[in-house]
């Protein structure tokens, strides 16, 4: 049985640009799919096709068991969408925005009003609820937009880069909201540039580039494909590199990579923490002084880079801190 979100061979051209070149997706009910890919890969276009905003040139798509092209209005009843750019009416207050969206989801006025109040609390917007959205910061608008997507607790949700522009605390909080939704049975398709986020939230990951799915699987499967664990050692003095190389060559399972400039040696290993202890002991016996040593597992960043040949780009400058935090997490042990 196809999943709550299902797509087969989606193709979409914009003039000469082939934005989607045969995308297949299958997201089982109650799970989260992380859609990753570099800028221009076709993530937003996929979301727009699946949410009835755009008609594919060819291919078939189904959301909540309903044919997207044939019954768009039925699909719209079952989905919540938070697009890549916050779509809120600047001249309406946060509360008015949510109430309007609720009513257009066909909720009775009183119910829409009540739900708007709940969401404003939940998204930390209660204090600003009765100010025009024009006065909101970027992250506040983003949260208002996310709240609008959740107003009817739809069975299938689409979030296009939902945490772009959120500070770490609000990002964490959104993750909790998402995890809770999924616990309740919601199916979610999430695009993101923060691979840590996909790692954290997604059951399955799909990497697309140039409008094609180039890899799919769980985060662990993708990491395993990219390569296993490695030990990284930084020695204190350059003349100790050779001794260290000897030790790693014996204990490691493959070629030792050496960076003379940073005095860093890397070798693939099997055996995890136990082996790390052996490496430290042997290096010590040979009198090699260590500045830093760690067991490094491939991160999704590594997967991404090895698959697409370039790093995920973070589009908003205000997110440097978050990006740095994500980068810092690369070292799993130090």
Partner 1 sequence: MSAPTTQAPTLAPAPRGGISGSIRDSLVVGKRNLIRMTRIPEMVIFGLIQPIMFVVLFTYVFGGSINIPGAPEGSAAAYKEFLMAGIFAQTVTFATAGAGAGIADDMHKGLIDRFRSLPMARGAVLTGRTLADLVQTAVTLAVLALVALLVGWRTHENIGKVLAGFGLLLLLGYAFTWIGALIGLSVRTPEAATSGGLIWLFPLTFISNAFVPVNGMPTFLQHVAEWNPFSATVAAARELFGNTIDGVPKSVTGAWPMEHPILASVIWSVLIIVVFRTLAVRKYRNATA
Binding residues for ligand ATP, rule: CB under 6 A, are 14, 17, 19, 37, 39-45, 84
In the complex, least distance from residue 237 CB atom to Mg ion, rounded to whole angstroms: 48
Closest CA to 200 of 209, 208, 190: 190
- 51 makes contact with partner 1 (CB under 8 A): yes
In the complex, least distance from residue 63 CB atom to ligand ATP, rounded to whole angstroms: 18
- 90 makes contact with partner 1 (CB under 8 A): yes
In the complex, least distance from residue 210 CB atom to partner 1, rounded to whole angstroms: 21
Q: Using DSSP bridges, classify how beta strands 156-160 and 79-82 pair: parallel, antiparallel or unpaired.
A: parallel
In the complex, least distance from residue 174 CB atom to partner 1, rounded to whole angstroms: 6
Task: Please say which residue, 190 or 258, places its beta carbon nearer to Mg ion.
Answer: 190
**Residue with the two structure tokens 């050496």:** 258
Concatenating the DSSP letter of every residue in 86-119 gives ----TTSBHHHHHHHHHHHTT--HHHHHHHHHHH
In the complex, least distance from residue 188 CB atom to ligand ATP, rounded to whole angstroms: 17
Binding residue (CB under 5 A) for Mg ion from 32, 44, 46, 288: 44
Binding residue (CB under 8 A) for partner 1 from 103, 114, 243, 306: 103
Contacts of 330 (CB under 8 A, 6+ apart): 296, 299, 301
- 46 makes contact with partner 1 (CB under 8 A): no
10 Å CB burial of residue 309 (0-12, 13-18, 19+) is exposed
In the complex, least distance from residue 88 CB atom to partner 1, rounded to whole angstroms: 8
Q: What are phi and psi of 32, to 5 degrees?
A: -115, 130
Binding residue (CB under 8 A) for partner 1 from 15, 106, 260, 287: 106
Instruction: Name beta bridge partners: 12.
Output: 20
Residue span binding partner 1 (CB under 8 A) among the ranges 35-43, 70-78, 279-287, 298-306: 70-78
Contacts of 93 (CB under 8 A, 6+ apart): 129, 130, 131, 132, 133
Rounded (10°) angle between helices 138-149 and 168-183: 10
Closest CA to 46 of 63, 29, 30: 63
Binding residue (CB under 8 A) for partner 1 from 11, 173, 305, 314: 173
| SS3 label, residue 9 | strand
In the complex, least distance from residue 93 CB atom to ligand ATP, rounded to whole angstroms: 29
Binding residue (CB under 8 A) for partner 1 from 7, 10, 20, 54: 54
Task: Please say which residue, 107 or 215, places its beta carbon nearer to partner 1.
Answer: 107
Contacts of 198 (CB under 8 A, 6+ apart): 34, 36, 190, 192, 205, 219, 300
List residues near partner 1 by CB under 8 A: 48, 51-55, 73-74, 76-79, 81, 83, 85-92, 96, 100-101, 103-107, 121-124, 132, 143, 148, 152-155, 170, 173-174, 176-177, 180-181, 183-186
Binding site for Mg ion (CB under 5 A): 43-44, 84
């Amino acid at each position: 049985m196809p999943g709550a979100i299902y797509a087969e061979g989606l193709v979409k051209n914009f003039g000469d640009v082939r934005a989607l070149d045969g995308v297949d997706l299958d997201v089982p009910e109650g799970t989260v799919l992380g859609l990753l890919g570099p800028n221009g890969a076709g993530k937003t276009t996929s979301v727009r096709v699946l949410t009835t905003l755009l008609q594919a040139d060819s291919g078939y798509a189904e959301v909540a068991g309903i044919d997207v092209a044939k019954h768009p209005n039925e699909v719209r009843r079952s989905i919540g969408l938070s697009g890549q750019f916050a779509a809120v009416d600047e001249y309406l207050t946060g509360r008015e925005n949510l109430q309007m969206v609720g009513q257009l989801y066909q909720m009775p006025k009183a119910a829409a009003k009540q739900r708007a109040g709940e969401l404003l609390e939940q998204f930390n917007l209660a204090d600003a609820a009765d100010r025009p959205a024009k006065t909101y910061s970027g992250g506040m608008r983003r949260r208002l937009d996310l709240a609008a997507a959740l107003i009817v607790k739809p069975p299938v949700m689409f979030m296009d880069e939902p945490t772009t522009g959120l500070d770490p605390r609000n990002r964490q909080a959104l993750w909790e909201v998402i995890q809770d939704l999924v616990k309740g049975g919601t199916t979610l398709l999430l695009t993101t540039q923060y691979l840590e986020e996909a790692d954290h939230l997604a059951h399955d990951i799909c990497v697309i580039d140039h409008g094609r799915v180039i890899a799919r699987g769980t985060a662990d499967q993708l990491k395993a494909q990219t390569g296993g664990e490695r030990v990284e050692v930084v020695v204190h003095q350059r003349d100790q590199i050779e001794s260290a190389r000897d030790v790693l060559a014996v204990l490691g399972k493959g070629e030792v990579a050496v960076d003379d400039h940073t005095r860093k040696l890397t070798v693939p290993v099997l055996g995890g923490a136990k082996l790390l202890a052996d490496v430290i002991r042997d290096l010590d016996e040979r009198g090699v002084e260590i500045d830093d040593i760690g067991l490094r597992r491939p991160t999704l960043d590594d997967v991404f880079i090895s698959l697409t040949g370039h790093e995920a780009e973070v589009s908003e400058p205000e997110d440097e801190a978050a990006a740095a935090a994500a980068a810092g997490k690369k070292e799993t042990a130090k």
